[in-house]
């Protein structure tokens, strides 16, 4: 795809923007195969491509400039705003919201935060798009100075949003390079953004995590569900379960599934989804994955892990090696930590892998691997 921001060096976030898409995809497969070359039992399925433009369902926009002329985008090296409201990797439905955001900034006289001066109020606007067309809008403020204005304008603002949308205000008083603070107030009656992936309803709360590429997230869950159904376990743990994507896709009659996630917001969202599906044997708990495994007192037939970039802990790897778990599905956003963890999981044989292009135009990708306990 072509990007004028990239060509003009205004934004270089998409480091592979000038590389043809099929070359990008093959490069990721080559990179992953190189990192996992020590596992000669491992066969690679064809990579899952993505739309190369408009694939991002989430826009994390820094608000800078002035009330009269706000910028919606990123900051340059000096901390000044760079407007990126026409960014081509963001879904067009989200880009269509930026003029609405700008209009409300002006009408409500919201003061953008000036990073170099450490003054101002409005730091970020975070937008998330559901496959239903609904949007979650999160205003990130430094203090509660503009909160009353935003709350009072809610009826007019919601009129500009698709049905089923959610609006909240987050407070980030500290001057530090993070997107959001701990305190969040939801302004709308609806508190979760609903997705439907592969026919399964999923709910996202404001501080919950969801994959930024809906198309690839759906493909990732389908792949995991296929592998789980192939071995047909009676019990499955989904560790680092987020809003429950893998667990919900793995649920089946006669099968108990457990989702373990540190975020209580994500756990509540997963419980909402399970209840809407009538899943009586789907259980979700807010707990550390390693701590849960080490103290559970029993082991399931299959475990799905989808850890952060650092991978799983050495303690969890050892527990899995010593356990009765027969099957592991490992979904990773960092093939380097994945390679390390597969070596630690020495009692398992990696069988199949598939690169999922969650992040086109960059070097990043997701890879999912199927492992089985090695014969004694």
* Catalytic machinery residues: 333
Which among 224, 243, 209, 212 is positioned nearest to 354, based on CA atoms? Answer: 224
Alpha-carbon distance of 159 to 266, in angstroms, equals 28
Distance set, CA 141 to CA 29, 38, 123, 132, 236 (Å): 41, 49, 6, 28, 41
C-beta of residue 236 within 8 angstroms of C-beta of residue 303: yes
DSSP assignment of 277-322: HT-TTEEEEES-HHHHHHHSSS--SEEEE---TT---HHHHHHHHH
C-beta of residue 121 within 8 angstroms of C-beta of residue 146: yes
Half-sphere CA count of 42, side-chain side, radius 13 A: 23
C-beta of residue 174 within 8 angstroms of C-beta of residue 181: yes
SS3 category, 359:
coil
Distance set, CA 93 to CA 97, 187, 352 (Å): 7, 22, 36
Torsional class of 106: left (φ above 0), alpha (ψ -120 to 50), beta (otherwise) = alpha
Alpha-carbon distance of 248 to 241, in angstroms, equals 10
Give CA torsion, residues 252, 253, 255, 256, to 10 deg: 90
């Amino acid at each position: 795809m072509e990007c004028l921001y990239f060509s003009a060096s205004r934004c270089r976030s998409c480091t592979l923007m000038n590389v043809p898409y099929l070359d990008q995809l093959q490069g990721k497969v080559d990179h992953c195969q190189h990192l996992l070359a020590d596992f000669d039992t491992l066969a690679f399925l064809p990579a899952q491509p993505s739309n190369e433009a408009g694939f991002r369902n989430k826009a994390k926009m820094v608000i800078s400039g002035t009330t009269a002329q706000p910028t919606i985008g990123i900051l340059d090296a000096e901390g000044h705003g760079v407007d990126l409201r026409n960014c081509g990797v963001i879904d067009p439905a989200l880009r269509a919201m930026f003029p609405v955001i700008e209009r409300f900034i002006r009408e409500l006289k919201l003061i953008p935060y000036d990073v170099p001066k450490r003054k101002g109020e409005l730091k970020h606007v975070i937008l998330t798009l559901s496959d239903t067309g609904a949007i979650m809008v999160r205003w990130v403020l430094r203090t509660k100075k503009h909160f009353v204005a935003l709350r009072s304008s809610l009826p007019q603002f919601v009129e500009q949003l698709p049905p089923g949308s959610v609006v909240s205000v987050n407070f980030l008083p500290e001057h530090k390079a993070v997107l959001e603070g701990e305190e969040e107030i939801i302004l709308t009656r609806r508190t979760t953004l609903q997705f439907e992936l592969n026919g399964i309803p999923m709910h996202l709360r404001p501080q919950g995590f969801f994959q930024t590429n809906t198309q690839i997230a759906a493909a990732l869950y389908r792949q995991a569900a296929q592998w789980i159904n192939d071995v047909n376990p009676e019990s499955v743990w989904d560790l680092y379960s987020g809003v429950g994507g893998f667990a919900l896709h793995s649920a089946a009659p006669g099968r108990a599934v457990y989702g373990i996630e540190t975020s209580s917001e994500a756990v509540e969202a997963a419980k909402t989804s399970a209840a809407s599906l009538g899943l009586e044997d789907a259980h979700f708990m807010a707990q550390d994955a390693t701590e849960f495994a080490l103290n559970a007192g029993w082991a399931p037939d299959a475990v799905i892990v989808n850890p952060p970039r650092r991978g799983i802990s050495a303690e969890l790897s050892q527990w899995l090696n010593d356990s009765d778990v027969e099957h592991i599905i490992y979904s990773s956003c960092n093939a380097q930590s994945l390679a390390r963890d597969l070596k630690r999981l020495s009692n398992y044989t990696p069988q199949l892998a598939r690169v999922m292009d969650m992040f086109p135009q960059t070097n990043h990708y997701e890879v999912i691997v199927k492992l089985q306990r090695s014969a004694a």
